[in-house]
Structure 1
Amino acid sequence: MSSSVSLRRPGFLTGVLATAGIASSFTQTMVAPLISQLPGIFDASPANTAWIITATLLAGAVSVPIAGRMGDLFGKKKMMLLLTLPLILGGMVCAVAPTVEIMIAGRALQGIGAGIVPLGIAMLRDLVPKEKLSSAIATVSATLGVGGAIGLPVSAAVIEFADWRVLFWASAAATLLVAIAIFYFIPSTPAGAAGQRFDGLGALGLAIALISLILAVSKGSGWGWTSTTTLGLFALAAVSFVLWGFWETRTKDPLVDLRTTVRPRVLLTNIASIFVGFGMYASMLVMPQILQLPGSTGYGLGQSILAAGLWLAPPGLMMMFLSPVGGRLSNKRGPKFTLVLGVSILALGYVVGVVGMGTTWGILATGLVINSGVALAYGAMPSIILSAVPRSETASANGFNTLMRSLGTTIGAAVIGLVLAQMTIPLGGVDVPSEAGFRTALLIGAGVSVLAAIIAAFIPAAKAKLAEPALEKELVSAGK
């Protein structure tokens, strides 16, 4: 398929890449309705079944930056197709898993597919005309949140009316269809960094650092924050990051060009991404629990898993609806404006949550406002990154930005989880989060979102615009 053909139907290509993104991000949250049932299903302790979630986080964190760089080196379409394989295989493994260990292995395979979204965003730079690029980027980027948002109601419905294993068969089948669509309809694009070598040592160093950090953050509350294991992992992560950074600044073809990432426009966007990821995920931990806790608590809304999922479905759809709107806003006012506006709306959503958490309609309104902010913010961040990096680094730079968002969600899960675990009331012989705990979590989400808005406000948009002609010249030269 020629590039001229692709330019005549950018909407269709964007739709295919967005569908691929939803298929990938859906797998990250599809087990959420199963969490409480997993110990009984596999006759295992909650600590062991928790690895079904952790394995996906770890595999995704390692895969995203590596897949991005390999996309720049060997072609983004090839890497997208390659990443669909572990998604399909992982779904099949989970569908037949007889033990928790095999289930963990299947979920780790699914986590490897997390690199599809940043690769899809990077491909848009080659496939979509400039006047439609911002909207296309916003649409595909939003699938990181859309897939997760619709994962809960869809999974809950499947689990309610069918065997839970059907969920994984369906996921594998959907990903297979996505792979076929990518193969037939997405044209191949030149490898922007063709001729360079893959930084294997850098990939190993980053993997060690990320696994150590995510394990310490996600497991610290269970192991104890001052335990030898947790502190040792934090220390290993710190040392590994330092050594990795030292290597990356001295090797000829680094996995991540740190000289690019420290440009103020890229650096501040990535830092803001951590806080935006935190802000998005905090609501995903709070709202489903409020909806499902019994009314006898005085603040729970007594909804079933399926009903709770249905109440949370419209906010997920809102993200997809608003994403192209955010792209058009970025075209008119710049992606920095859209990012600041988005995280400001995100903060407002948490304020709505504090006021409206006592009713299902209040929770719905909270989700709509929060996800509106996430849609605008998630769509703007890749546009800022793409405007500040050369074409040879589009996939790796977007992969690194996606990694920052993932780190934000991991940190958010740990912090909000700790708050809710510490502020509890007894209910039927077990402790459940208290109303004060939920309100505290919502206020933390608001505070983090405000901090993200402040950081985003300092992104040097005007200076970046002055540099764009030189950057465009660099990109044209690289594309020859």
Structure 2
Amino acid sequence: MVVPILPEFPTIFGVRADDASWLITITLLTAAVGTPLISRLADMVGKKRMLQVSLAFMVTGSALPAVSASFAAAVVGRGLQGFAIALIPVGISLLRDHLPARKVAGATALMSATLGIGSALALPLAGMIDAAIGWQGIFWVPAAFGAIMLVAVRIVVPESPVRTGGRFDWFGALLLSGALTALLMAITKGGAWGWSSPGTLATFALAAALLVVWIPFERRVTNPLVDLRTSTRRPVLLTNAASALVGFSMYANMLLTTQQLQLPDSLAHGFGLSVMAAGFAMIPGGMAMALFSPFSAYITNRRGPRTTLFVGAAVMAVAYLARTQLDHSVAFIVLGAMFVSIGTAITYSSMPMLIMESVPRTETASANGLNSLLRSIGTSTASAVVAALLTAMTVTAADLAAGQAGGVPGSLAHLPAPGAFDTAYYAAAGAAALACAVALLIPKPARGGRGAQGRTPHHDRISPEA
């Protein structure tokens, strides 16, 4: 909901545009850092409890900027909102613990699709709320809905009896948090700082150094934050790799579609839509994700989640290739974005099922949290790549003057060129195609292992309380 209003925040808070971008960056950082921590705690102290903690962070973070109306409060609030991303992996693990096995695939598909549905609805909704009650409304409305959900979870959702024992790995959490913060800072700010600048290179180096310390430590500790022995199993490792690729491909769709539709219609490849109208153009994709979630569950139940991942990634790749050719009307752009969203819904529904086939029941939340983390790294990378392409490949006044009598206004001199969008679409198609290849490499679950039918292998550890 913040994205459409982002250009207004420098004026609202009296800050520079690059400072206002922290309202996006801080959420990406806390989502990436908080998801594995909350997911691991969910396995240890209770999934329902950590759902409530995530919602409490989101409600507090949403209300804080509206109450304070200062830039510092908005940054802190947006940071707290990022912890709510953990709702998805923790919620999916709860579905697995409580639902009949035959319903897990469908429920997981629908819950995974809510990521796309929420994103699609938020874009036009933010503009409507801003016009009706002001910018504070984009924080008050999530706070109100979050509070309702917090009460509903407390009343309706049962706690899971599945727990893992041991102590929380605080030192491992500190090392991983530092590494992820440095990595995502370098990815998200590298374009502004300069990719070869000392600051960017030093931040990448810090991330690598912390990971070099963290990996052997996690292998030695009794109760690791991330069980690397489980995470390096071929099915889990390849699924996480696919998650990063799909995250890249998915996020490019959202970034590119709205920007292309908002380009001035004086450009041959522009359509001159308002922020709100461009947001409405994303709604068909969000609705398609909800409609196709039963289809992805059908594929999973009949052919397995590996096939589901391949089909979804293939749909994304073909849709992006088509978008490089069919970009001459709003209808075709919306249709292309919708098919990318359909592929996204299918792939997102498959990955939690692949993870749950390959990890002990007591590690479901933390394993899904790591998968979400890899997806976040993919989306952050997509944001950096798309920004680099759209700023490097621009239309100049000289390029347009030949096709327009009377010259070109100076404001059009540095807008993204058609080739920038096509290159980004090819990059997204390539990421989706690689995800297809990864899907083919994922081994089928061994006979007698745990799969969609809910069988539990002998190495699952259930706590005495369960």
TM-score, normalising length: structure 2: 0.93
- Residue 453 (structure 1) aligns with: 436
Instruction: Indicate the percent of aligned positions where both proteins have the same amino acid.
Output: 39
Partner SS for 2:433: helix
Q: Within the alignment, does 1:133 sit opposite 2:116 as a pair? A: no
After TM superposition, list the pairs within 5 Å mapping 1:27-176 onto structure 2: 30-176=1-147
1:15-37 CA-to-partner distances (Å, cap 9, x unmatched) read xxxxxxxxxxxxxxx11101211
Per-residue displacement from partner, 1:251-272 (whole Å, max 9, x unpaired)? Answer: 0000000000010000000001
> SS of the residue aligned with 1:474?
coil
Residue 446 of structure 1 aligns to which amino acid in structure 2? A
Ranges in structure 2 where 5+ consecutive residues have no aligned partner: 397-408
- Say whether the 8 Å CA contact 1:292–1:304 is kept in structure 2: yes
Count of equivalent residues: 449
1:236 and 1:465, CA in 2 relative to 1: closer, same or farther beyond 3 A? farther
Q: Bigger shift: 98-107 or 49-58?
A: 98-107
Deviation at 1:191, TM superposition (A): 4.0
In the alignment, which of 409, 414, 437 is matched to residue 420 of structure 2? 437
Confirm or deny: 8 A CA contact 1:149 1:315 kept in the other structure: yes
1:173-192 to structure 2, matched below 5 A, reads 173-192=144-163
User: Quick one: distance in 2 between partners of 1:243 and 1:225?
Assistant: 25
Partner of 1:472, secondary structure, is coil
- CA–CA distance in 2 between the matches of 1:276 and 1:381? 10
- Mapped pair 1:224 → 2:208: no
Gaps of 5+ in 1: 1-29
Q: Tell me if structure 2 keeps the 8 A contact 1:388–1:464.
A: no
Normalized per residue, which structure has more helix?
A: 1
* Contact 1:388/1:471 (8 A) holds in 2: no
Task: Give the equivalent residue in structure 2 for 1:240.
Answer: 210
Report the 3-state secondary structure (helix = DSSP H, G, I; strand = E; otherwise coil) of the residue aligned with 1:473: coil
5 Å-filtered alignment, 1:229-308, equals: 229-308=199-278
- Kept in 2, the 8 Å contact 1:294–1:300? The answer is yes
Give the deviation of 1:464 after TM superposition.
3.7
Quick one: distance in 2 between partners of 1:104 and 1:96?
13
Aligned position for 1:16: none
- SS of the equivalent of 1:356 reads coil
Q: Is the 8 A contact 2:321 2:425 kept in 1?
A: yes
1:339 corresponds to? 309
Contact 1:74 1:191 in 2 (8 A): no
SS in structure 1 at match of 2:270: coil
How far off is 1:471 after superposition? 6.6
Which residue, out of 349, 373, 384, partners 1:403?
A: 373
1:357 to 301, 304, 327: 327
Q: Does 1:394 align with 2:364?
A: yes
Amino acid at match of 2:282: L
Aligned to 2:163, the other structure's residue is in SS state coil
**Two-structure CA RMSD over aligned residues (Å):** 1.6
One-letter code aligned to 2:120: A
The corresponding residue for 1:27 is none
1:478 and 2:462 aligned: yes
Secondary structure (helix, strand or coil) at the match of 1:252 reads coil
> Which of 259, 281, 293 pairs up with 1:311?
281
C-alpha displacement of 1:414 = 0.6
Whether contact under 8 Å (1:59, 1:108) holds in the other structure is yes
Q: Give the structure 1 partner of residue 174 of structure 2.
A: 204
Given that residues 68 and 118 in structure 1 are in contact (C-alpha distance below 8 angstroms), is that contact kept between their aligned partners in structure 2?
yes
Which one-letter code corresponds to 1:233 in the other structure? T
What amino acid does structure 2 have at the position aligned with 1:361? A
Shift of 1:298: 1.2
Query: Which deviates further from its counterpart, 277-286 or 300-309?
Result: 300-309
Letter paired with 1:408: G
The CA distance in 1 between the partners of 2:375 and 2:206, in whole Å, is 22
Query: TM-score if structure 1 supplies the norm length?
Result: 0.91
Alpha-carbon deviation of 1:317?
A: 1.0
- Per-residue Cα deviation, 1:236-265 (whole angstroms, up to 9, x for no partner): 100111111111000000000000001000
Render the CA deviation track for 1:52-88: whole Å, top value 9, x for unaligned. Answer: 1111011111100000000000000000001111111
What secondary structure is seen at the aligned counterpart in 2 of 1:238? helix
Structure 2 Cα separation of the partners of residues 111 and 57 of structure 1 = 7
Distance in 2, matches of 1:203 and 1:433, equals 41
AA matched with 1:412: A
Measure how far apart 1:456 and its partner are: 1.3
Give the whole-Å Cα distance in 2 for the aligned partners of 1:477 and 1:392.
Answer: 6
Task: Give the letter aligned to residue 173 of structure 2.
Answer: A
Please tell me whether the aligned partners of residues 59 and 144 of structure 2 are also in contact (alpha carbons under 8 angstroms): yes
Q: Aligned-pair distance for 1:324?
A: 2.2
Runs of 4+ in 1 over 4 A off after TM superposition: none
Structure 1 residues 97 and 292, CA, compared in 2 at 3 Å: closer, same or farther? farther
